Structure 1
Amino acid sequence: MSETQSSTFAELGLGAKVLAAVKSLGYESPSPVQEQAIPAVLAGKDVLAAAQTGTGKTAAFLLPVLNDLPHHGKAKGPLCLIVTPTRELAIQIEDVCQTICKKTGHRSVTVVGGVSYGPQRGKLARGCDVLVATPGRLMDLMGTGDCDLSEVTTLVIDEADRMLDMGFLPTVRKIVAACRNRRQTLLFSATLDEAAVGEITDLVHDPAVIEIARRGTAAQTIDQFLLPVSPEVKNKLLAKVLEREGHSRVIVFCRTKHRADAACRRLRKAGIAAAPIHGDRNQNQRERALRDFRKGSIEVLVATDVLARGIDVPDVDYVVNFDVPGDPEDYVHRIGRTGRAGEFGWALTFVTPDDVDDMLATEALMGRTVPAFERTKGLDLGTTPPELDPDRVPAKVRNLPASGKHRKSRTKAAAAKAVARQAKRDKGPRPSHGKPKAKTGERETGKKTKDATAKSPTAPGERGNRSSNAKRQGASTKGRGSQGRGDSSRGNGRPGSRKRSGSSQRESGSGQGWQSYNGPRPSKPARKKGRRPGDLGGKTRSKSERR
């Protein structure tokens, strides 16, 4: 779809009430995705849109939808349904929606997991015009009859690629089936690649296709840097970097929940106000952390990738990737938390020798190299930081076809990782980082030296002698009639074979007596105090009976 020449929201066709909401939201001019999406939604068309993070996608669908949405009153269910993959995204959409609804007079309800059902059921019973929901909680409320979607005329699926990546495709299809057949469907995603959203594009009919930036593109307002470090100093280095560069309004990303908690504890010990946010934190804890971060009482958020997609935290100074993400696309979403809405920001990524492959894959996806961080004077980077060629060129990524249940493994990001691994193999093995190399003599050419043969733990002749001894020992054992439950002397692992510990073998001499024994196993010693209750119909024998 070609870009329009509109420069104000009024020229896009929005009404007076929505324009008043635009002023409350603080928008001055529409972003590219808003310029293209708003006229299409107002025209009643389905929309299939992709834009890089931080471009105003939420307002791109909320403003035109609420501009034309009628007021529902107390009916069976909402007229507009917005489905989003995470609780944080749902709450963010609800915040923007509430601001617009104050001007338009609509009512909105948000239902997410992690909180009790009661208040959500009560709000749904009172009726709403707009429902913002996560898939799991919405399905629960539909199953109990508390939510009816039969009146939905506008369906919005936000972060569709993330929704499929989290395994919500069957749930989304059930939700869509509960809506009206004649409806307007708006599908927003970070990418329109077939591998990412191909399984869900059938939900839109003759859509207006909007693609602002290609996949893997970071905003031009973000400066990116690498900091090569040794693993042994990485933990201590984080607090020092934050103290030097400033630790106000910073987001630190870690790969796992455990690492996020550990990094948060270390920052607190260093006197930095930090809070963790990840999947193991309940909804109230996550909301409190985001609220305190926005107010400034928390200086640093330490998060996993749950915060990397779509969360709008304003005025983030910079982002630190404490761990390089395994998926190159997650890197783009992480650093997209800064430099939003035209503001400038920067991102710093710690890279250890084990992270080189993932970082090269990320560069291949973005089509650009990330320069090294230069302000390292006085920082202890350790003894073995990785050496990255400053003149390296990112590998070209071939867009592989995607089909079948392994579709995800054939995405551009997976191909980028494969290219990076192959480039590393072509370059040769990694340096030993100061460790002495083993003397191999002529083994590098495929020949064994005499010294190597002599020093080997078991020479060929010795192996032959041991094999002959084992055969003779097995034959002598077999001659004594070792049959029945399996021949344990041969260690063949057949059912019934038994092995005895070394101490037991020492007690019986050479161990041959146990191995060749074929008789019954010894029974447990008889109880001295008669039978247990229950052996004789639940009764114990009397003294006279025992005599």
Structure 2
Amino acid sequence: MALFLINRYTGDENSIENHRKRTAKNTLEELQKKAKERKIETEKIGNDIFTATNKLNDVKISDPENSEKKKKNKRKRKNSDSENVEENHFSNKNDFDKEKEKKETTELEEKPELKEDLNNNNVPTTPYDPISLFKQGIGNKVGSFTILGEEIDSSKVKVTRHLPRWITDRIIIDDIKSELQLLTDVEPKIDPVLIENLKELGIVQLFPVQQKVIPFILRDTRRGIGEQTFPPRDICVSAPTGSGKTMAFALPIVQALMQRVVPATRALVVSPTRELSAQIYKVFTALCRNTKLKCVLITGVKGNLQQEQRLLTSIGKNGVRYPPDIVVATPGRLVDHLSEEREFDLTKLRFLVIDEADRMMEQIKQRWLTLVEDNVYKNRTKPVPGSLTIRSVTQSRIPLQKLLFSATLSADPEKLQQLNLFQPRLFSAAPKALEIGVKTEDDNFIGKYTTPVGLEEYLIKCTPGEKPLAVLHLALDKSRVLCFAGSIETARRLTVLIQLYAEAAGKSDFTCTEFASHLPTTKRSKVLKDFSAGKINILVCSDAMARGLDVPSVDHVILYDVPPLIKTYIHRIGRTARAGASGTAYTLIRKQEIFHFKKMINDAGKSKVKMLNIPEDSVKELTPIYEQVLPSVAEKLKCLK
């Protein structure tokens, strides 16, 4: 018996012991839960993989007796593991790691097939491929890897172009060889004065493009050219080269302006080149004969800026300044005059014609369109493009109607947006078999290019050294041949070579001349006049003549170099087969260029270009003189410089 009774406080020790037991129990339950989830997940993935790949023959199938033994052993191991875990208290991280390794080892033992594959390094890769699993509809978790994102679809999705409705709902015009219409049959009626002027030009019928566009513009001007509450729709015309686009806008503009009382600049025509502007000016001048209308050309040809400004503000008999009714200009020269801010007034402008619209869109960076619109709306509010409102239709103003014309009118919404078109109407001319463009599922063409109906196109495969011989073979016995070279240097070298060959061959009546942008304007005008008169057999030129110029009676076009763009190709071959006539276009192409050229043509929806072979006898006949004059080309080029 102890002398002193000591009562110890054991509450803390009991609580610590209880806390340890609770912690061990919770940890055990958590481990068992994770082991069970991992086991279910592994079994699910294994079953999905084996089912999806249908490779059950590679897996060893156990018999029913072995399966029963496995289940009994599994239950025994599970009970023994649980008892061992309950007897031990996990006090550090190492015990947890050992338990985790033990569980994973147990799972491998439960699946001898997977263990055998792992030991033999024979794990199949195809069943674990995430892409194949997703294609088969299996979940987004493979093993310890989680696949992010939605189900992967390897099939290509076809993207369709969603273009404005006015492009898809265009007016299709018949080809140029369809039935023509007499001038007297047009409704609304054409003024008798204009009919007489047209007859003097030899025009008594209208082409299909003119039959549709001219009445459309005339109907918009029936109520005059002054202020209106409801503005007319803008017009876009995509028609083949030589189909009469210039007359399609010149004739209705002149007839509409014949009603004016006070002179003012009411029509502005903008074209990319001087030659094309001069050609348009010539048409307007012929139509304005026997009328009070005045047309002016400003391209920098007739003098300096001050001289052209005097043309824009001529003084009448009473000392009053009278501006021209119609102005034809190039964008660069137009910017010069608008920047001066003197007497060039466009506040009464009614028509803005943009010829070769696709190329003019590329020159919008020169700010010519912005300057024009700023001058037009200098004294009034600029209308906002979009839907009509009650307020907009109650405001009376002089409408500015834009007329776009091109053989390769772009369907790029971004470029068209820069033009600020108001409810435009698209006229598209060409037979369906010759339409070139992006093809949709319903076999309609959007943003198409068009070629003349009577045009035949050929490809001639040759090396760079054989190209001059091919040109000589095609041009020596012909007249009015137009040859396009890729650069000014190539055009000059080819011209000199042909001239030397004709001289050495004794063909004094055969003439070859160069036409390029570096030549003076007066010389270029004389060259065009001589070529039209048949005094020049072959005209070698750069891209200066590729757009818009109407050279009569061009029978053949030769493309010395392959054009890099389909638009360039369309404009170059369009110099022949104009106004319903027939013509032939030859493209000289190297072997390595054939694939890319045909791809460009096929992507545009065109596939009628045929291959043409030059007879070897003709090449052998031309070769001796060609080799004789070839060394003299360099010497003559030096003299020309």
* One-letter code aligned to 1:154: F
* One-letter code aligned to 2:494: A
* One-letter code aligned to 1:174: L
Report the alpha carbon displacement of residue 114 of structure 1 after superposing the two structures with TM. Answer: 5.0
Is the contact between residue 40 and residue 208 of structure 1 (CA under 8 Å) also seen in structure 2? Answer: no
- 2:14 maps to none
* One-letter code aligned to 2:528: L
**What's the secondary structure of 1:102's corresponding residue?**
coil
Distance 1:97 1:197 in 2: 32
Confirm or deny that 1:359 pairs with 2:547.
no
Of 304, 315, 324, 2:553 maps to 315
Of 328, 352, 356, 1:132 maps to 328
Of 287, 310, 313, 1:100 maps to 287
Confirm or deny that 1:195 pairs with 2:434.
no
* One-letter code aligned to 1:147: F
**What's the secondary structure of 1:267's corresponding residue?**
helix
Over 3 Å counting, the alpha-carbon distance change for 1:358 and 1:87 in structure 2 is farther
Of 192, 200, 204, 1:16 maps to 192
- 1:455 maps to none
- 1:347 maps to 585
Report the alpha carbon displacement of residue 342 of structure 1 after superposing the two structures with TM. Answer: 0.5
Is the contact between residue 408 and residue 567 of structure 2 (CA under 8 Å) also seen in structure 1? Answer: no
Report the alpha carbon displacement of residue 19 of structure 1 after superposing the two structures with TM. Answer: 1.4
Report the alpha carbon displacement of residue 193 of structure 1 after superposing the two structures with TM. Answer: 3.5
Matched ranges for 1:436-515 at <5 A: none
Which 4+ stretches in 1 moved above 6 angstroms? 71-74
Distance 1:366 1:115 in 2: 44
**What's the secondary structure of 1:237's corresponding residue?**
helix
Of 164, 178, 191, 2:375 maps to 178
Is the contact between residue 556 and residue 585 of structure 2 (CA under 8 Å) also seen in structure 1? Answer: yes
Report the alpha carbon displacement of residue 3 of structure 1 after superposing the two structures with TM. Answer: 5.6
- 1:116 maps to 303
Is the contact between residue 409 and residue 449 of structure 2 (CA under 8 Å) also seen in structure 1? Answer: no
Is the contact between residue 329 and residue 362 of structure 1 (CA under 8 Å) also seen in structure 2? Answer: no
Alignment size in residue pairs:
379
- 2:516 maps to 278
Report the alpha carbon displacement of residue 354 of structure 1 after superposing the two structures with TM. Answer: 4.1
* One-letter code aligned to 2:577: G
Distance 1:2 1:334 in 2: 24
Over 3 Å counting, the alpha-carbon distance change for 1:206 and 1:9 in structure 2 is farther
Q: Which has the higher contact order (CA 8 A, sep 6+)?
A: 2
Deviations 1:372-425 (A, max 9, x none): 22453523399xxxxxxxxxxxxxxxxxxxxxxxxxxxxxxxxxxxxxxxxxxx
Of 513, 532, 544, 1:294 maps to 532
Of 234, 245, 248, 2:467 maps to 234
Unaligned runs of 5+ in 1: 383-547
Deviations 1:220-265 (A, max 9, x none): 2011111111122223432233114x1x111100111111111111
Distance 1:362 1:286 in 2: 33
* One-letter code aligned to 2:591: P
Distance 1:285 1:2 in 2: 41
Unaligned runs of 5+ in 2: 1-170, 221-231, 315-322, 383-398, 436-447, 503-509, 622-641
Is the contact between residue 247 and residue 283 of structure 2 (CA under 8 Å) also seen in structure 1? Answer: yes
Over 3 Å counting, the alpha-carbon distance change for 1:198 and 1:82 in structure 2 is same
Deviations 1:3-52 (A, max 9, x none): 69982222222111111122122223211211111111112243121111
Report the alpha carbon displacement of residue 270 of structure 1 after superposing the two structures with TM. Answer: 2.5
Is the contact between residue 278 and residue 297 of structure 2 (CA under 8 Å) also seen in structure 1? Answer: yes
* One-letter code aligned to 2:549: I
Distance 1:201 1:25 in 2: 37
**What's the secondary structure of 2:557's corresponding residue?**
strand
- 1:390 maps to none
Deviations 1:462-521 (A, max 9, x none): xxxxxxxxxxxxxxxxxxxxxxxxxxxxxxxxxxxxxxxxxxxxxxxxxxxxxxxxxxxx
Of 203, 215, 237, 1:49 maps to 237
Over 3 Å counting, the alpha-carbon distance change for 1:161 and 1:267 in structure 2 is same
Q: Which has the larger radius of gyration?
A: 2
Over 3 Å counting, the alpha-carbon distance change for 1:200 and 1:8 in structure 2 is farther
Distance 1:201 1:211 in 2: 21
Distance 2:513 2:307 in 1: 28
Of 404, 419, 423, 1:206 maps to 423
Deviations 1:133-174 (A, max 9, x none): 001101111222252222211111111111123455632232
Of 441, 453, 473, 1:220 maps to 453
Relative to the length of structure 1, the TM-score reads 0.64
Over 3 Å counting, the alpha-carbon distance change for 1:285 and 1:168 in structure 2 is farther
Is the contact between residue 331 and residue 362 of structure 1 (CA under 8 Å) also seen in structure 2? Answer: no
Distance 1:131 1:197 in 2: 28
Relative to the length of structure 2, the TM-score reads 0.55
Deviations 1:424-463 (A, max 9, x none): xxxxxxxxxxxxxxxxxxxxxxxxxxxxxxxxxxxxxxxx
